[in-house]
């Protein structure tokens, strides 16, 4: 696989609305979308920051991963997501290099993307997300 950029940085928050004071109101970054992902117990907001994005992750269910993260670690950086061209190839290559994908099949991410996470124990302590399918403005694929 070859990654050409950080697609986004995932930040766990208790309240998206509250954190928009920093990103939207103070830093004047553009809020591009808010989406609920009920199957993951999450509400996510994407904020454009040049060629990359900040993803705010707010739990909407008690048992979501983000709820557990907030309980144990509090608000803060949750994961770093790298864009890849082909998520299925990326999973196979990660496995071949003894990384630990959290699923063997790509999962549905926000905005119609395909994603997989790599376990922090295999990456030096960072929850790494691989993302296929988000294109910057100006790309024909939208």
Residues near Zn ion (CB under 5 A) are 10, 55, 81, 129
Residue 49 CB, nearest approach to Zn ion (Å): 14
Residue 80 CB, nearest approach to Zn ion (Å): 9
| Cβ proximity to Zn ion, 48 vs 140, nearer residue | 48
- Residues linked to residue 40 through DSSP beta bridges, in sequence order: none
Give me the residue whose beta carbon is nearest to Zn ion: 10
Residue 138 CB, nearest approach to Zn ion (Å): 22
**What value, to the nearest 5°, has the Cα angle with vertex 106 and ends 105 and 111?**
160
CA distance 132 to 86: 6
| Cβ proximity to Zn ion, 20 vs 65, nearer residue | 65
Phi, psi of 78 (to 5 degrees): -105, -45
Residue 79 CB, nearest approach to Zn ion (Å): 6
Q: Which residues of 77-115 are buried (b: 16+ CB within 10 A; e: fewer)?
A: ebbbbbbbeebeebbeebeeeebebeeeebeebbbebbb
| Cβ proximity to Zn ion, 87 vs 140, nearer residue | 87
| Cβ proximity to Zn ion, 81 vs 94, nearer residue | 81
């Amino acid at each position: 696989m070859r990654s050409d950029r950080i697609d986004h940085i995932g930040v766990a928050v208790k309240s998206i609305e509250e954190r928009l004071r920093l990103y939207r109101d103070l830093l004047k970054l553009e809020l591009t979308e808010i989406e609920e992902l009920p199957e993951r117990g999450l509400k996510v907001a994407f904020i454009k920051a040049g060629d990359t994005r900040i993803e705010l992750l707010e739990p909407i269910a008690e048992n979501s991963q983000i709820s557990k993260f907030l309980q144990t670690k509090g608000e803060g950086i949750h994961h770093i997501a790298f864009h890849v061209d082909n998520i299925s190839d990326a999973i196979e290559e990660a496995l071949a290099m003894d990384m630990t994908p959290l699923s063997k099949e790509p999962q549905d991410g926000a905005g119609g993307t395909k994603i997989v996470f790599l376990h922090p124990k295999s990456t030096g302590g960072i929850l790494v997300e691989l993302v296929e399918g988000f294109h910057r403005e100006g790309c024909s694929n939208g």
